Structure 1
């Protein structure tokens, strides 16, 4: 079983190509986060090339934050291309419960079998068939309330499910982990959550047979960088800059700390 530090080292050594279909707000931030970590981002979303490109990338991530019919076509083509090439792909079902368009898009994407699903507590509760308290992209539920829903969803979909918040929870339906760390300033910076989805894809690219451990390592890296950035930040603006620097400077010892990842 690879350690988080070993996965980080592999990521930095191989610089995996990660295809990121994400929302307009998040593109620049997500690309910078992946570059800071050591991966290579590619924001390829057009239906005419997304499927073909997914076969070239080490992993694919799909975030439905700003949907349109054309983008949905690109998402489906990319997910199909990733599946055909045996590449892991990550689904970020942003506010999937809010509108009929989102509900249909996520239902179709789930049928294309993501390896990993990452969302906030309200999104995961609703995705598992429950009634969450989310409002738009914001979670109205604590992570703990979504843990059983995450286990059910993981078992039903054959995917790793990550619920992110002050303490993250990740499960494959049988094994479960909690990841500690981060900073209260993280939710105050636009697109950091969306960028985390991209980082999960980067770690999955270097450990496609270990999606649970890859996801936990990505969450730990994000938490460790957030913790480090928060120590000197004066507010969200300085935190955003410090976060990229902290992620770039991250060392394996911070990820392998005994208190960072714990069995749940």
Structure 2
């Protein structure tokens, strides 16, 4: 779906956290999408309708931002645009978990992308979340399916092996590199990449589009590591942006490690 994405150059409305705004914007530009960051309640509804997809990332939460996200999400719903929720740090504090629950109750969220600890918190399961980093000792596929069925969405659970499911159709992705965890913003950027792939995919192919987005992201990370391993994490972070733009659809398909679960 990459060539189609680059041809369409979808506008992605990112309501993301202040820590990662520039990194997210640069990553989406490299990928072939057009990012826009709009947060004011006075314009988010119009922007969400104009965009191809809406990303809601609660990394630096507030009540005011939550209200604006709900306005944007409902507007995107009315326009038939996919809404992606990144529940950053859900489970770390009650406030973050409550924000996610409020958004999920008032907005028809298309895709939820998070780690096992965050997704566990959304369904009341036991997960371990430290700051905005999460882990879980539970069955990751079961957690992802529970989120998908509970909220009628596609769950994208990221980790050493990623799980993508709508509750019935399930894929696992084994691409990626551990250095992604050493650079602030890489996980949040993935939410934007998933949004960009969803913006250009047919609704019937959203699960597959999410799996391809996660795999493409992982292959770009593997290639970035190959050229930066001697320099370190900072060089890797920049190389990763480079390879999001340099990676071709043909190479991504050749190197992807996607398995459809039965």
TM-score bracket, shorter-length normalisation: over 0.9
Is 1:218 aligned with 2:213?
A: yes
Per the alignment, residue 172 of structure 1 pairs with 166
Q: 1:258 to 1:221 in 2, by over 3 A?
A: closer
With structure 1 as the length reference, what TM-score do the two structures score?
Answer: 0.94
CA deviation map 1:45-76 (0-9, x unaligned): 11111112100000000000001122111111
Q: Which residue of 1 aligns with 2:197?
A: 203
Distance in 2 between residues matched to 1:39 and 1:12, nearest whole Å: 7
- Taking the aligned partners of 1:225 and 1:258, their CA distance within structure 2 comes to 10
Counterpart in 2 of 1:124?
119
More contact order relative to length (CA 8 Å, sep ≥ 6): 1
Which shows bigger deviation, 14-23 or 91-100?
A: 91-100
Which one of the candidate residues 85, 93, 97 is aligned to 2:91?
Answer: 97
Shift of 1:98: 2.5
Q: In the alignment, which residue of structure 2 is the partner of 1:255?
A: 252
2:87 and 2:114 in contact (8 A); partners too: yes
Aligned counterpart, 2:234: 237
Q: Report the number of matched residues.
A: 257
Structure 1: tracts of 5 or more residues without a match: 1-6
Distance 2:256 2:38 in 1: 37
* 2:37 maps to 1:21: no
2:218 and 2:255 map into 1 onto residues whose CA distance is: 14
4+ residue stretches of structure 1 with deviation over 3 A? none
1:164-199 CA distances to partner (integer Å, 9 max, x unpaired)?
112211111001111122112110000100000011
Q: Distance in 2 between matches of 1:208 and 1:109?
A: 24
- Partners of 2:124 and 2:252 in 1: how far apart? 34
1:5-25 Cα distance to aligned partner (Å, 9 max, x none): xx1011100100000000000
Q: 1:187 aligns with which of 169, 181, 185?
A: 181
Among 133, 137, 146, the residue aligned to 1:138: 133
**Unpaired stretches in structure 2, ≥5 consecutive residues:** none
8 Å CA contact 2:129, 2:135 repeated in 1: yes
Alpha-carbon RMSD: 1.4
CA displacement at 1:200 relative to structure 2? 0.5
Q: Shift in Å at residue 99 of structure 1?
A: 2.5
